[in-house]
Amino acid sequence: MNKKIQVIGKVQGVFFRKRTQEKARELGVTGWVSNETDGSVRAELEGKPEAITKMEAWLKVGPERAVVETILSEEGEEKGYLDFEIRR
């Protein structure tokens, strides 16, 4: 399963990408996360449906200092990611 996510709110400068990477690896989710110029965070997630569901639930809250207003999600095509990376 592949999901493309955009997280909107106070999500930059609060270790969002690093904590997302840690959570994804914990759940066995692969893909990437990056900061966007509009202040949002984007991620592409791949893994088992139950792991993706848990990851999406986590992204709705984010790390301790984040303030997530909303997340936008759409299904995508699997690309076969091997790890979860932070993109700059």
Per residue of the chain (88 residues), give pLDDT as tens: 999 999 999 999 999 999 999 999 999 999 999 999 999 999 999 999 999 999 999 999 999 999 999 999 999 999 999 999 999 8
Please report whether residue 81 resides in a domain.
Answer: no
Query: What's the structural domain count of the chain?
Result: 1
Please report whether residue 12 resides in a domain.
Answer: yes
What pLDDT is attached to residue 2?
Answer: 98
User: Contact at 8 Å (CB) between 24 and 62?
Assistant: no
Measured between alpha carbons, how far is 51 from 53 in angstroms, rounded to an integer? 5
H helices within the chain, ranges in order? Answer: 16-27, 49-59
Please report whether residue 85 resides in a domain.
Answer: no
pTM as predicted: 0.95
Domain span including residue 27: 2-75
CATH for 17:
3.30.70.100
Please report whether residue 29 resides in a domain.
Answer: yes
Active-site residue list: 17, 35
Please report whether residue 87 resides in a domain.
Answer: no
